[in-house]
Each structure stands twice: as C-alpha cells, then as structure tokens.
Amino acid sequence: MMAGVVPTGTDGGRRERKKLATRAALRRAALRLAVRNGVENVTVERIADEADVALRTFFNYFSSKEDAVLATAALGAEALVARFRARPPAESVLAALREAVLEVMESDDVAGHEHLAVLRLIRAAPSLLPQQLCVLAAQEDALAEAIADRVGLPVDDAYPRLCATAAFAALRVTLDRWLARTADDGDPPTTALLRAEFGDAVDTLAAGLDRGGAGS
Amino acid sequence: MMAGVVPTGTDGGRRERKKLATRAALRRAALRLAVRNGVENVTVERIADEADVALRTFFNYFSSKEDAVLATAALGAEALVARFRARPPAESVLAALREAVLEVMESDDVAGHEHLAVLRLIRAAPSLLPQQLCVLAAQEDALAEAIADRVGLPVDDAYPRLCATAAFAALRVTLDRWLARTADDGDPPTTALLRAEFGDAVDTLAAGLDRGGAGS
DNA sequence: GTGCATGGATGCACGACGTGCACGTTGGCC
DNA sequence: GGCCAACGTGCACGTCGTGCATCCATGCAC
C-alpha cells in the first residue's frame, strides 16, 4: 500500500523523524505552557500530557523542565554561531558577530518568535537564569572555535575564548536592556533599536573597554 | 553569674551569632563533603548531619546543596567587589579590577583556600556550573554599580554593565585556563602566573577586542 | 527573677523530581 | 516472515523542596 514513497525520509528514516518530532513537541509544549502559566506553575507531567507522551518519556529527551524550555534558547544560540561562521571571512570578528546577531533576531522564521518568548520568560523567571547562562556557556565553546578559525589562531589560544565570552556577555547585557524597554513601553522594541544598542556595545568593546577612574 | 561580659556580642546578640554560625557550619560542611565525595554523591541530609542540624533546618538557610556549596564562591565574589571599591579612585577601571582580583587570590585567609577548592570543584562537577554562573551574574550588579561610581556614570548607563559583565567573563576564562594547568601539571599554579594571565586578558580588553578576519 | 512575645529549630506530611529496571512495541534489515 | 536494536511506557524508589504545626531558646519589660 504505497509503502516506501518516501523510502527512509530525507534525513535518516522514520525512527529519526519520530524522535525529532517528539523532541520538538516536548520543547514546544514546555514553552507554550511556561508562557501561559509561568514556569513555576508547570509540572513535567503536564508537559508530557500536552505533548501526548508518557511522563517517563519526557526524561528520555530532557533532564528537567528548565532544560526543555531552554532548548529553544539553545537553538537560537546555535543559529547565532552558524550565522557567524557564514559571514564573509573578510569581516572582522566583532563586525561579523554584530551582523550575525541581527540576522538571527530579524529572521522571521518561527524559531525567532519562539526565541523572543523564551528571552522574555527568563527575565520574568529567575529560576531559568542559571540554566540559560549554562546554555550560553556551552555555545561559547563553539563560538570560540569559530572565532579561532576566522582569525587563524589555534583553538587553545586565549584570544578566541576571551572574545567569545565577552561577546556573549555583551549580547546578554544588550538583550536584557532591550527587553527591559518592552516591559516599560507597551510596544515591542524594534530590531532597529537592537541594532543600535548592540552596535554601541560592540563598538565599546572594539574601542577598548578601559576608562580612567575618579570620574575623569 | 558574670552575665553580660559580652553584653550582646560585637555585632548584634546571641541569636544573630548563632544564625551566622549555623550558616557557616552548613556552608563548610557542604564544601567539605563535596570535596571529599564529589558533589553528586552528597545528600542534603548528610550535610545537615555533618553540621549537626536537622534536615529541615538546612532549607532554612539554603535552597539546595548547590546553593550551600556555592555560598563559598559567592563570598569570594563579594570580596572581589569590595576590594575593587577599596582601590585608589585614580586607578582606571580595569587596573583596579586586576589588582582586586590578585588581592583576593593572594590573600592567605581561610576563605581564599576554600574559594580555590570551590573553583576546582566546579571544574570537576558540571552540575555546579549553572548556579556558579548565576552567582557571578548576581555580583555583576554590584560590580556594575561600583564601576559606575568609579567613573562617575549613572548606574543605568550601558557602560558599567557591559564592563562588569565583560570583566567577570574575562575572569572566568582566565581562572578556567589557570586551573586547567593545575590538572595537567602536578604542582599548583602560582599567583604570579595568574597575575600574568589575567593581566594579558585585561590588556586585551583595554586595547580593543576586535581583530580582522581572514587570518590577517 | 519572672513572665511574655518573638523568632528560629524541628518533625511531619506531601507533591514533585529524576533515574534504574523490566517489559511491550515498533522500526530497520535481511 | 523473522530477528534485532531502539524507543515508549509503567513501576518503584530515593531525593528534593516546602507548608504547617509545635517546641524551645532568646531577648525584653517590669
């Protein structure tokens, strides 16, 4: 009965596709429930029900509900590193980084909207902060490697790591301030504003971070 | 019978002192057990026993065993901010920060040794990483405020936050690389080496972090 | 010193979490 | 069709974290 119309799928078989689908369903269920009810008021059992799998199955994919919610954030961070790698090699590190950030935030795919939701969620839920920082820290490794490739340094050099860490730090601060305006003002901040703010932060890093003391 | 020789203690009464003592006992018990048996193999109940209090009492002071272990790290971070504030106002931000870090690491008080133990512990126990990053993030606020005071900027300016975050990021990278040498070599790395490494990181931040692409 | 109010320590109970284990089912492959 | 590996599921168990009621030490007023 038409078996094998898509012999093994475009990626690697039905099994793989089902796994991916289950993981995505859990990730989205977690995000949806967390946005609707607040992270604290969501149980893992509820997430599993929403994704129509058993409680036990949830733990085959994520180790906690925070992990599931932040999987969306992790996707965004991975996308950022990928875009950074795709920037023209002639661009300087910080310029490529600035453009990569804006590409991700301006992208209209579903992941972009979900990513924004997670960022807002983290601001409202301090219990997510530790794991989010951990997600960023994990991507720092990937970014450091990408930076090392770009400038032609060995991966164990100090510069790539320092640059990657500082870059994510700047991104975190900028996003935090940008999102704070969302809370204050009614309308969502524009990507143009984000471009300006993150551009300033990057310029500050590029120009040298030090300043004299005593208000000079 | 000699009541009131130390009328209310030097700080604020017996109650206050007992609370502080219990908190310190729990903090140290958690650290000691974690170092000896590994963080994963320590239960909250064991920590409470070691500190000679009830299990329930533990949760009156800390919300998790990670919290208790990292309380030591938090002390170190607070000390760092305090030393930064105490540096001569004429020093630039990054110079004061470099000296403050070295002061903390070179201080011979007990807290210094405990702090080192925690740092080593975190490297070996990924489960502590999220909360450690959270501890640092919490101190970023205090450091940002101190930086704002030093350079004479309002606390809601972007520079103090960016600088504080980047500074902690640099500190984290440097300490990580410094501690990695401890694992490789047999002997513990010297503070002189730390001074050199963190000095380099700070110089890099001060000189401007950007670099051209294409290996130029 | 005596009684009283307050705040911390403790025990208890309960829901949630996270994991090891065994079993059934399904997909992949000959 | 038949075998095998991988996945989903239920079960049990230890741990976690918290609300609540209770007991006791402390500090205070007199």
- How sure is the predictor about A52, in pLDDT bands with cuts at 50, 70 and 90? very high
User: Distance from B172 to chain A by nearest Cα, in Å?
Assistant: 9
CB B133 within 8 A of CB A133: yes
pLDDT at A7 (0 to 100)? 45
- How sure is the predictor about A30, in pLDDT bands with cuts at 50, 70 and 90? very high
In this structure, of A6-10, A48-52, A90-94, A180-184, the range with the lowest mean pLDDT score is: A6-10
Dihedral angle of Cα B91, B93, B98, B103, to the nearest 10 degrees: 70
Residue B69: inside a domain: yes
For chain A, the domain total comes to: 2
* CA-angle at A145, arms to A112 and A199, nearest 5°: 50
Residue A4: inside a domain: no
Chain A residues touching B200 at Cβ < 8 A: 158
CB–CB of B197 and A152 under 8 A? no
Cα-Cα end-to-end distance for chain B: 81
Which of B175, B181, B210, B216 is best to mutate for the A interface (most A CBs within 10 A)? Answer: B210
pLDDT at B106 (0 to 100)? 86
Q: How far apart are CA A102 and CA A18, in angstroms?
A: 32
Do A58 and A71 lie in a common domain?
A: no
Give A 196-215 residues with CB within 8 A of chain B.
197, 200-201, 204-215
Chain A residues touching B171 at Cβ < 8 A: none
* DSSP type of residue A126: G
Put simply, whether B150 touches A (Cβ < 8 Å) is yes
- How sure is the predictor about A109, in pLDDT bands with cuts at 50, 70 and 90? confident
Residue B11: inside a domain: no
Chain B residues touching A86 at Cβ < 8 A: none
CB B27 within 8 A of CB B72: yes
Q: Kindly tell me if the per-residue pLDDT of A92 is higher than 90.
A: yes
Q: Which helix (H) or strand (E) holds A206?
A: helix A191-207
CB A118 within 8 A of CB A70: yes
pLDDT at B2 (0 to 100)? 41
Residue B31: inside a domain: no
CB–CB of A166 and B170 under 8 A? yes
Sequence-distant (6+) residues with CB within 8 A of B198 are B98, B101, B102, B170, B171, B174
CB A52 within 8 A of CB A8: no
CA B57 to the chain's CA centroid? 25
Do A98 and A196 lie in a common domain?
A: yes
Q: How far apart are CA A47 and CA A34, in angstroms?
A: 9
Do A70 and A45 lie in a common domain?
A: no
Put simply, whether B99 touches A (Cβ < 8 Å) is no
Q: How far apart are CA A30 and CA A72, in angstroms?
A: 10
Sequence-distant (6+) residues with CB within 8 A of A45 are A55
Put simply, whether B154 touches A (Cβ < 8 Å) is no
Q: Which residue has the higher pLDDT, B63 or A116?
A: B63
Put simply, whether A98 touches B (Cβ < 8 Å) is no
Put simply, whether B169 touches A (Cβ < 8 Å) is yes
Helices (H), ranges, A62-157 = 65-86, 93-106, 110-124, 129-151
Nearest nucleotide over every DNA/RNA strand to the B12 CA, judged by C1': D27
Residue A7: inside a domain: no
Query: What phi and psi, each to the nearest 5 degrees, are found at residue B154?
Result: -65, 150
Tokens of B130: 């999220």
- Residue type at B56? R
- How sure is the predictor about A111, in pLDDT bands with cuts at 50, 70 and 90? low
* DSSP type of residue B52: T
Do A29 and A58 lie in a common domain?
A: yes
Tokens of A209: 């971070």
- Residue B37 exposed, middle or buried by CB count within 10 Å (0-12, 13-18, 19+): exposed
**CATH number (domain holding residue A136):** 1.10.357.10
Do A45 and A71 lie in a common domain?
A: no
pLDDT at A87 (0 to 100)? 97
CB A170 within 8 A of CB A201: yes
**CATH number (domain holding residue A30):** 1.10.10
How many Cβ pairs within 8 Å bridge chains A and B? Answer: 150
Dihedral angle of Cα A6, A7, A8, A11, to the nearest 10 degrees: -50
Helices (H), ranges, chain B = 14-37, 44-50, 55-61, 65-86, 93-106, 110-124, 129-151, 158-184, 191-207
Q: How far apart are CA B58 and CA B46, in angstroms?
A: 10
Do A144 and A102 lie in a common domain?
A: yes
Cα separations (Å) of B154 from A174, A212, B157, B159? 17, 16, 6, 9
- The average pLDDT across A37-61 equals 97
Give the number of C-alpha atoms closer than 13 A to the C-alpha of residue A96, restricted to the C-beta side: 27
Residue B96: inside a domain: yes
Which of A179, A200, A210 is best to mutate for the B interface (most B CBs within 10 A)? Answer: A210
Q: Kindly tell me if the per-residue pLDDT of A62 is higher than 70.
A: yes
In this structure, of A1-15, A185-199, B15-29, the range with the lowest mean pLDDT score is: A1-15
Q: How far is the CA of A140 from the C1' of C17 (A)?
A: 29
Q: Domain span at residue A170? A: 64-207
CB–CB of A169 and B169 under 8 A? yes
How many other C-beta atoms can be found within 10 angstroms of the C-beta atom of residue A93?
A: 27
Angle between helices A158-184 and A191-207 (to 10 degrees): 140
Q: How far apart are CA A13 and CA A20, in angstroms?
A: 11
Do A88 and A162 lie in a common domain?
A: yes
User: Distance from B167 to chain A by nearest Cα, in Å?
Assistant: 8
pLDDT at B181 (0 to 100)? 86
Tokens of A188: 């969502």
Chain B residues touching A177 at Cβ < 8 A: 158, 161
Q: How far is the CA of B53 from the C1' of C10 (A)?
A: 9
Sequence-distant (6+) residues with CB within 8 A of A182 are A120, A188, A189
Residue A6: inside a domain: no
C1' of nucleotide C26: residue with nearest CA? A15
Do A79 and A54 lie in a common domain?
A: no
Put simply, whether B21 touches A (Cβ < 8 Å) is no
Of B130, B152, B166, the CB nearest to A131: B130
Q: How far apart are CA B57 and CA B86, in angstroms?
A: 36
Do A39 and A82 lie in a common domain?
A: no
Do A120 and A203 lie in a common domain?
A: yes
Put simply, whether B95 touches A (Cβ < 8 Å) is yes
Do A39 and A100 lie in a common domain?
A: no
Task: Judge if the beta carbon of A63 is closer than 7 A to nucleic acid strand D.
Answer: no
> pLDDT 10s per residue in chain B (216 long)?
444 334 434 567 888 999 999 999 999 999 999 999 999 999 999 999 999 999 999 999 999 999 999 999 999 999 999 999 999 999 999 999 999 999 998 887 766 788 888 999 998 888 899 999 999 999 999 999 999 999 999 999 999 999 999 999 999 999 999 998 877 776 667 888 999 999 999 999 999 989 977 655
Residue A2: inside a domain: no
Chain A residues touching B173 at Cβ < 8 A: 158, 161-162, 165
Do A58 and A75 lie in a common domain?
A: no
- How sure is the predictor about A186, in pLDDT bands with cuts at 50, 70 and 90? low
Listed residues A62, A80, A100: the one ending a domain = A62
Which residues from 52-71 of B have any strand D atom under 7 Å from their CB?
56, 59, 63-65
Put simply, whether A150 touches B (Cβ < 8 Å) is yes
